[in-house]
Structure 1
């Protein structure tokens, strides 16, 4: 699914001269609505591309990493743009909050709603030159040896 999203966003990635690094676990089955999960990936990755395009950044980079822990898959989408200040991190998932001129402020709110509907979590961690959105979702089938 992440490959599909990256192909869909390829023109924006190319236009923004963004390097995308993938460190992904093999295909992991999830319960849920693929179109909704896909929309979450599109929103978060596109936001990262957008942020990197608005700031002077020597090597704009997005790292997409996944790993499994305790019957969940964690997908981290990290960019090396500016830090999101703590006071903004508290409100970025609220409806109608935006820092974009043409934004509606619904993107991250809808993403959080979708992930929570799928019994997961969406969080944001930001320090100077590194912002990570982590999507944690339950795995559909336990691996049995």
Structure 2
């Protein structure tokens, strides 16, 4: 009888070991799957990012051209060049090229990937993110407001935070364009609430017309977005809730949708 119990116990122990190994394998597979989806989402954003570079650079290139046109005209007409004018144009050219270089740096940093958690100011990262996507927003005459009531220092993967912002803002932008909203706007607000730092992204695109609203966070769900991968909002929720110990939620207001990123103070 005792031997039978011992055999049962040993068999159970062996089963537990096998079960633990299976769980480890499944956890590893899920992590790899999440990593792959994260990269797919980032690559899906690449095409949109390249379009934004062209928007970002079009105006500076036109400004560079306008700086040289008067100088070229004077040279052709043998009109003496004013030294002060030339120096002013050179200074303007330096400012423009510095802006274009900073834009490229923002894109490179975003796609480089996060190696480790670092400290970063929330407002600075929002500004850097806006610099990446501002071309597409301006090109479609969308007003963008940023309201800051708190500028905390976060510790985490700053590019992941940027990716969440880009996913939500681009989603809002696409809806505003598709629905041809008059006087379109996107508003970003940062404030403190209880023990949390809150970032909200609000638009006047008419809201999300599905029930329940949380369905938009499901993978491969492409609500009214043409050529969308259906991964953006799913990955955003995954990043906020799994990597930042926070919460990402959505609600409808009278004029449009509002996304709310809640990050606890213990992440700050």
TM-score (norm 1): 0.90
1:28 is matched with 152
1:124 is matched with 250
CA distance in structure 2 between the aligned counterparts of 1:54 and 1:88, rounded to whole angstroms = 22
Answer with 84-93 or 12-21: which moved more. Answer: 84-93
Report the structure number with the largest CA radius of gyration: 2
1:47 is matched with 171
Count of residues paired in the alignment: 141
- The 8 Å contact of residues 151 and 190 in structure 2, kept in 1 or not, is answered as no
Deviation at 1:22, TM superposition (A): 1.1
2:120 is matched with none
Deviation at 1:103, TM superposition (A): 1.0
Deviation at 1:25, TM superposition (A): 2.9
2:134 is matched with 10
CA distance in structure 2 between the aligned counterparts of 1:25 and 1:127, rounded to whole angstroms = 21
CA 1:101–1:49: 2 relative to 1, 3 Å: closer
Deviation at 1:44, TM superposition (A): 0.7
Counting strand residues as a fraction of each chain, which structure ranks higher? 1
1:66 is matched with 190
Structure 1 stretches of 4+ with a deviation exceeding 3 A read none
Between 1 and 2, higher relative CO (CA 8 Å, sep ≥ 6) is seen in 1
- The 8 Å contact of residues 217 and 233 in structure 2, kept in 1 or not, is answered as yes
CA distance in structure 2 between the aligned counterparts of 1:5 and 1:18, rounded to whole angstroms = 16
2:227 is matched with 102
1:113 aligns with 2:226: no
Q: For structure 2, list consecutive stretches of 5 or more residues without a partner in the other structure.
A: 1-124
TM-score (norm 2): 0.50
Please provide the CA RMSD for this pair. Answer: 1.4
CA 1:32–1:105: 2 relative to 1, 3 Å: same
Q: 1:134 aligns with which of 214, 238, 260?
A: 260
CA distance in structure 2 between the aligned counterparts of 1:83 and 1:23, rounded to whole angstroms = 21
CA distance in structure 2 between the aligned counterparts of 1:112 and 1:27, rounded to whole angstroms = 22
